[in-house]
Amino acid sequence: MKQVSIIINVILAIGLAVLYYFHFSSAPSKATQEDGSTGLQGDLQIAFINADTVLKYYDYFKVNREKLEAKGKQMDTDFRNRAQGLQREITQYQNTVGNLTIGQARALEEDLTKKQQNLRVYQESLAQELANEEGKLNQELYQRVTAFLKEYGAKNGIQAVLKYDPSSDLLFGDASLDITQDVITGLNEAYKNGNKQTVDSTKVK
């Protein structure tokens, strides 16, 4: 599931760009635009999260990742069963082809060839379906995390949230700026409350 972590990278890369922009273009006390309006005042407030840790402990992602993996295993089992069934037909044909007429053999070969082609198409459709499901999960993850970070930032006066790990551009972050645990707790509470509301709404009154 490595692709999933790319979503967090995209989210937080924007924050880093914002940090650089205001650091090099703002005046120490106030940013003044050409039309006379003012931008941010005071220091830019930033924070960071460990994206891998968030993904590891975010219940929504864990639950849906397990569902996606289970679906992938079921798809693989289904494909293998079909492939084995086709292989048995091919073996049977090879064992009996000596007793068939040229016309019968040709008809069976054409039928087996068509089945092989259909199996390849089926395999590709399974792969595409799984990729679509993963894409939906990534998009939903993106929306949930960005929505939470925007709300968290508004409540705590934070204008940018960065990703901090060996692959990020942030080389050092003081522990006081680490909001990873707050983000995990907040995301899980929102997910839990969302599930509870869904269950309550389906109860018969």
The domains of the chain, with CATH numbers, are: 2-201 (3.30.910.20)
Instruction: Read off the pLDDT of residues 57-111 as tens digits, 9 standing for 90 and up.
Output: 999 999 999 999 999 999 999 999 999 999 999 999 999 999 999 999 999 999 9
Whether pLDDT at 191 is above 90: yes
65's CB contacts (< 8 A; 6+ apart) are: 1, 4, 137
Confidence of residue 18 (pLDDT cuts 50, 70, 90): very low
pLDDT, mean of residues 149-164:
92
Contact yes or no for 13/128 (Cβ under 8 A): no
Condensed to tens digits (0 to 9), the pLDDT of residues 164-190 reads 777 777 778 889 999 999 999 999 999
Residues 125-133: contacts with CB under 8 Å, at least 24 apart: 126/75, 126/78, 126/79, 129/75, 130/68, 130/71, 130/72, 130/75, 133/68, 133/71
Nearest CA to 147 out of 191, 196, 181, 177 is that of 191
Residue 126 has pLDDT above 50, yes or no: yes
